[in-house]
Amino acid sequence: LKAVADFGQNLREESELNNELSKLVSFSAIDLKVNTLAISNPKPKTGDSVLISVEIENSGTITASNFKVSAEFAGTLIEHKGPFTLEAGEVRTVSWIWDTSSIQIGSKGDLVVTVDSESILKDFNPDNDTKTLEVQFDGADIEVIADSIVSNPALFNTGQTIQLTASIRNNSIYDAN
Q: pTM for the whole thing?
A: 0.67
Q: Cα 131 vs. chain centroid, distance in angstroms?
A: 5
Quickly list DSSP for 33-97: EEEEEEES-SS-BTT-EEEEEEEEEE-SSS-EEEEEEEEEETTEEEEEEEEEEE-TT-EEEEEEE
pLDDT in tens, the chain (177 residues): 677 776 667 767 677 667 787 777 666 889 999 999 999 998 898 888 999 999 999 999 999 999 999 999 999 999 999 999 999 999 999 999 999 989 987 889 999 999 998 888 888 888 999 999 999 887 666 777 766 667 777 777 888 887 777 778 777 666 666
How far is residue 78's CA from residue 3's CA, in Å, rounded to a whole number?
A: 50
User: For residue 139, what pLDDT is reported?
Assistant: 66
**Pick from 27, 105, 111: which is nearest to 61 by CA?**
27
How far is residue 8's CA from residue 3's CA, in Å, rounded to a whole number?
A: 13
User: For residue 6, what pLDDT is reported?
Assistant: 65
User: For residue 129, what pLDDT is reported?
Assistant: 95
Strand partners, 130: 114
